[in-house]
Chain A
Amino acid sequence: MGGKVSCTLGEVKNRADLIVYWGGNPAECHPRHFTKYSLMPKGRFVPNGRKDRTMILVDIRETASAKAADIFLQVRPAKDFEMITVLRALIKEQPVDTKLVAETGLTLEELTDFAQRLKKAKFGVFFFGMGLSMTRGKHMNSAALLTLAAELNAFTKFVAMPMRGHGNVTGGDVIMRWTTGYPFGVNLARGYPRFNPGEYSTIDLLIRGDTDAVLVLGADPGATMPQPAIDHMVRVPTIVLDPKVTHTSKIARVHITTAVTGISAPGTAYRMDEIPLPLKPPLKSPYPTDEEVIRRIYQAVAKKPPLMPPVRPKVPRV
């Protein structure tokens, strides 16, 4: 997600006086987010910590995170996009359709108050979770919220940041961006990168049966993907690198056990605000690291004759 209006968590800690969590439950999924980065810490421009900040939670149900919120706004399921659209109108003092407002499950007063708070903040931040980005509308919801954040900068300073989940998913985006120019779903079959989500995304490739070998690392799609996708991984040779024998390993032709990232494998991982941090593994693994094994597979493939025929020598000019 290059080009988004964002910042580091250090800036949130030192500046943010309005914190909005949208479609996420940090109290249970990112337990130290409140205390370490967003709500509780005393910062340079928010010297009284929690007292200087307002927290608003937008979600479809009252999760454990609602207890930490000053205001909880319960949006009707799958109406996030509509709600963001209404807010975009309200901050610009445009008239809004009352029918559209009713659809969100919130009242015009609640939304007007929300819009006012967004504009009045000195430094506001949207943290959005999978409740926004993985429900109806998907990346269009994220795009709408990022647009709202960008538009709020006409009035104040406002940023948005996705609450990324497990492990080093942020690193995956960053690494693919700097190596190929695109964040995920990159097809290198023609020797140069092509990007087309929906065509080159894993689920689609598997369900359509477009791919004829799968290398899985640092993931267990055999446990989480829809059955037709798993069926295809059974059909073609699947190779798994993982510290454990996973569900995917059981349907794979080849499994290689590797060291555990951050526990027995050293390296770098990215925090959700795209800050790279070094890992300090306390243990030594009897297994090789993923990095080592991939490099060895690379060398083994490189020894074989090239996939493309060599370029013909240039025809000499006469």
Chain B
Amino acid sequence: MELTVTKDATCTFCGCVCDDIELHSDGTKITNTKAACVLGKSWFLNHTAERLYPDALIDGKEATVDEAVEAAAEYLYLAHLPLVYGLSNITCEAQRESVALAELIGGVVDSHTSL
């Protein structure tokens, strides 16, 4: 596998969001990190691009993303007061989409901050 080097990568493991990390990767795994602390290093080394989990599950059974998206949409559509919760380990772009979805389904949107 070809080794790629990503300079000035950003670590999102803690609120420091260090943006000076160097990452070496072989296409499926990150093999080495520079400048990251112990927490950041284990965060980067522990994630791979392998397919370790099924694409989607419905009631515990494997399903396609299309089916799961339809099922999710149906549940949220039918609910009187759906709740959209979390938003911590996702990008700002995904957070913005989540707020839009909460508005469309007439629900509550909330994050870790409320705990």
Q: What residues make up the interface of A, taking CB atoms closer than 8 Å to B?
A: 29-33, 36-37, 134, 163-176, 179-180, 183-191, 197, 200-203, 205-206, 210-219, 221, 236-237, 239, 243-245, 249-250, 252-257, 260-272, 276-291, 293-298, 300-302, 304, 307
| A172:B87 contact, CB within 8 angstroms | yes
| A301:B89 contact, CB within 8 angstroms | no
| B10:A264 contact, CB within 8 angstroms | no
Given A200-B110, A205-B108, A288-B65, A268 contacting B93 (CB threshold 8 A)? yes
Scoring B residues 5 to 25 as 1 if CB is less than 8 Å from chain A, else 0, what string do you get? 010111111111111000101
| A32:B16 contact, CB within 8 angstroms | yes
How far, in whole Å, are A282 and B28 apart by their CA atoms in the complex? 9
State the majority secondary structure of interface residues on B. Answer: mixed
| B79:A256 contact, CB within 8 angstroms | no
| B111:A173 contact, CB within 8 angstroms | yes
* Residues on the A chain within 8 Å of B108, using CB: 185-189, 200, 205, 211
From A163, A287, A290, A297, B55 is in contact (CB under 8 Å) with A287
29 of the cross-chain contacts (CB-CB < 8 Å) are A30-B14, A168-B12, A169-B87, A176-B109, A187-B107, A187-B108, A188-B102, A191-B103, A202-B115, A212-B79, A214-B83, A218-B86, A219-B87, A219-B88, A221-B86, A243-B53, A254-B57, A254-B68, A261-B94, A266-B91, A271-B16, A282-B9, A282-B25, A286-B51, A287-B55, A290-B90, A291-B94, A294-B101, A298-B101
How far, in whole Å, are A300 and B67 apart by their CA atoms in the complex? 11
Given A165-B14, A189-B108, A285-B49, A254 contacting B92 (CB threshold 8 A)? no
From B37, B72, B91, A32 is in contact (CB under 8 Å) with B37
How far, in whole Å, are A219 and B88 apart by their CA atoms in the complex? 6
| B98:A272 contact, CB within 8 angstroms | no
| A217:B98 contact, CB within 8 angstroms | yes
**Nearest CB of A to B96, in Å:** 6
Quick one: closest A residue to B4, CB to CB?
A282
| A261:B85 contact, CB within 8 angstroms | no
Given A261-B89, A268-B92, A282-B25, A239 contacting B112 (CB threshold 8 A)? no
| A255:B68 contact, CB within 8 angstroms | yes
From B72, B92, B97, A256 is in contact (CB under 8 Å) with B72
From A218, A264, A281, B87 is in contact (CB under 8 Å) with A218
How far, in whole Å, are A265 and B87 apart by their CA atoms in the complex? 15
| A166:B88 contact, CB within 8 angstroms | yes
* Residues on the B chain within 8 Å of A169, using CB: 15, 87-88, 111-113
* Residues on the B chain within 8 Å of A179, using CB: 96, 99-100
| A166:B99 contact, CB within 8 angstroms | no
* Residues on the B chain within 8 Å of A245, using CB: 53-54, 57
**Nearest CB of A to B29, in Å:** 8
Quick one: closest A residue to B97, CB to CB?
A294
